[in-house]
Amino acid sequence: MRILLADDAKNIVLVLKMSLEKAGYQVLVSRDGLTALEIAQIEKPDLILLDILMPKMNGFLVLEALKDDPQTNEIPVVFISAKAEEKDIERAKSLGVNDYLIKPIKQKDLLAVVEKNLGGGNVDE
């Protein structure tokens, strides 16, 4: 299964990518929102892990664009963000986010949310 990881923080990308690959997932990486949207439209990943605060296009705008596109609106999206305020979480939910992880993210929490949003399928599919 393929996961798109979109975050502009290099250290977070490295840690999360390593954890996901170790668990058997194929990971696509984007360092900005616009590229994340383009990758999602072309590659149609099974899940998107999306930061909110990114250059070129923030995560809220990426999520809106994904949900407005029939080609990508069924892809589950999980926000990974340091933004822990209730208003941000509520906005994300109103836009259709599937889950919300607050940084720093523990590996077990990451993998549990990934498995939940992929329907517990085989990671090697």
Number of domains in the chain: 1
What's the pTM value of the predicted model, to 2 decimals? 0.92
Domain span at 14: 2-117
CATH number of the structural domain spanning residue 43 = 3.40.50.2300
| Structural domain contains residue 68 | yes
- 36-45: list long-range contacts, CB under 8 Å, 24+ apart: 36/4, 36/6, 36/62, 37/62, 37/65, 37/66, 39/4, 39/6, 40/4, 40/66, 40/72, 40/75, 41/69, 41/71, 41/72, 43/2, 43/4, 44/71, 44/72, 44/75, 45/2, 45/3, 45/4, 45/75
Q: What is the pLDDT of residues 2-44, one digit of tens each?
A: 999 999 999 999 999 999 999 999 999 999 999 999 999 999 9
Q: Is residue 7 part of a domain?
A: yes
